[in-house]
A = this chain, B = another copy of it.
Amino acid sequence: MCTPWIQTVSLEPPSLRDNTADTDRLQHALSLRLNTNRVHIDLDLIRRLPEVLRQSSYRIRCILWKRRQQWFLLEVSAAEDQHIAAGLAVDLGTTRVVLRLLDLATGRTLAESAFDNPQEKIGPDILTRIHFAEKENGLRELNELIVSGLNLAIAQLCASQHLEPQQIYVLAVAGNTTMTHLFMNLSPRWVIREPYIPVVNTPEDVKADDLGLQVHPRARVLIFPNIGSYFGGDLIAGILSSGIHQNAQTGILVDVGTNAEVVLGNEHWLIGCAGAAGPALEGGVTRMGMTAAPGVIDQISLKTGTPEFKIHTIDDLPPKGICGSGVIDLAARLFQSGMIDIRGKLVPAVCGPKIKMIDGMLHLVVVPAEHSATGSDLTISQADLDSLIRSKAAMYTILETITDSVGITPQNLDIFYVAGTFGSLIDPQSAIAIGMLPDLPLERYKPLGNSSLSGAALALQSDSYHDQIDRIRERITYLELNVNQDFMNRLSAAKFLPHTNTRLFPSVKVINK
């Protein structure tokens, strides 16, 4: 596939019969080619046109960009120029920032890289950063942290491909509302204060230079719009990438990152909600286990017919901890083997010698010290399990609430996208076993990977995706998660394994009650 961004244009050289100015000549040719009224050309590029046109004998390669019906000419060179024109998709996460470098001509991925958001130095969570931004020079510092972090990562990523950062002509950036604000050097002060007002929801493209980004000086930056303070451009990018906004069937998209965000819909309607709106999720899903990394347990099963764990670690290294998907696998196995009861409480009689009492709290040894990479037992405590139960109950309650708001149930979903690393690693069967995700046929579960990054990359392929972004934003309804009695009743019912109402989970075999 080819993008429309690189065009080779042959101009009729000027003559006494046709002494149209250089810029107007080029604009006329491009307007015909692109079927538009006018192509914007920055003054500094106009200054270089006479030389480039004459040196190339009026056969030139144009690097273009289109945004909301307006075309922009970003660079011209001789038609023979083979230099790569690159685009950069950015997933601007609170914790982690991921970059994908693309060939603008083809949309092909050249390379990816990631780095920890340097704002973590100020605070790991959004709230701390927002408060810091209100201090003198606080906003500036946060902005400089992310911009210089990006510049460093861009330089390294380009170097790995033998490109200059000046070869990046367009960027598409998807982040949550606060990250987007800090990136644009906009105060997030009112994002967290009633009635929760962002500075901007639908930013226009900005010149990279105006943001301090060290790429091509005329590069444009598309910043994904947000719906509101708690529903950001990253999720719009995720929706774009999933395609649920264009499906006839009703689907759901769950993105478990720093927050848990959920979007439900089809080609006719979209409804979204974010976990941060409900206190029940706080400290829940997101803190479960450690980040997926080499040596971390991501899968656990039971040796057939025994209560012995069979563990799998990332890259098959000695185990050093357990990540979210591993914890969910573990809980499913513990429940299936009766080592925890329907309330998630450890059952010492079943666990046997795996049980240890540490600091007055029951712990289950998952990997004994002699097999772990740390030299200590890898354990899960009753508190960890309680936390998991709260998280899974919150997740299921949100799914019930959002589906109920449109008169369906989680069991009616035709397709279930799980985004993020979590989505790539999680075993849906385990999540179903503990009642975290609904009991759907497994083929309806689709891992999406980093859907924010993929959505950002799509925005660099064609402006038809820009129209989709705007339409997603306009169509989506934000569901405020009111933690009312109804919600609390649902939450209570979901705090059992797999659920108080076991008819909702017909595939889950409950061994003991």
Q: Which residues of A contact B (CB under 8 A)?
A: 14-16, 18-24, 38, 40-41, 43-44, 46-47, 49-50, 68, 184-187, 189-190, 194-204, 206, 210-211, 226, 228-229
Q: Are B197 and A14 in contact (CB under 8 A)?
A: yes
Q: Are B195 and A19 in contact (CB under 8 A)?
A: yes
Q: Are B19 and A49 in contact (CB under 8 A)?
A: no
A379 to chain B, nearest CB (A): 45
Q: Are A38 and B201 in contact (CB under 8 A)?
A: no
A186 and B45 CA atoms in complex are apart in Å by 10
**CB-CB < 8 A to A226: which residues of B?**
21
Q: Are A199 and B49 in contact (CB under 8 A)?
A: yes
**CB-CB < 8 A to A198: which residues of B?**
21-22
A226 and B20 CA atoms in complex are apart in Å by 10
**CB-CB < 8 A to A14: which residues of B?**
195, 197
Q: Are A23 and B195 in contact (CB under 8 A)?
A: no
Partner of A24, one of B16, B194, B200, B211: B200
- Nearest B residue to A187, CB-CB: B50
Q: Are A47 and B195 in contact (CB under 8 A)?
A: no
Partner of A187, one of B19, B47, B195, B206: B47
Q: Are A197 and B22 in contact (CB under 8 A)?
A: yes
Q: Are B200 and A22 in contact (CB under 8 A)?
A: yes
A466 to chain B, nearest CB (A): 13
**CB-CB < 8 A to A16: which residues of B?**
194-196
- Nearest B residue to A188, CB-CB: B50
Q: Are B199 and A46 in contact (CB under 8 A)?
A: yes
Q: Are B199 and A47 in contact (CB under 8 A)?
A: yes
Q: When A and B form their complex, which 4 residue pairs have the shortest distance between CB atoms, in order from nearest?
A: A23-B200, A21-B201, A21-B198, A16-B195
Q: Are A50 and B189 in contact (CB under 8 A)?
A: yes
A98 and B122 CA atoms in complex are apart in Å by 55
Q: Are B46 and A200 in contact (CB under 8 A)?
A: yes
A291 to chain B, nearest CB (A): 32
Q: Are A38 and B200 in contact (CB under 8 A)?
A: no
Partner of A22, one of B40, B68, B199: B199
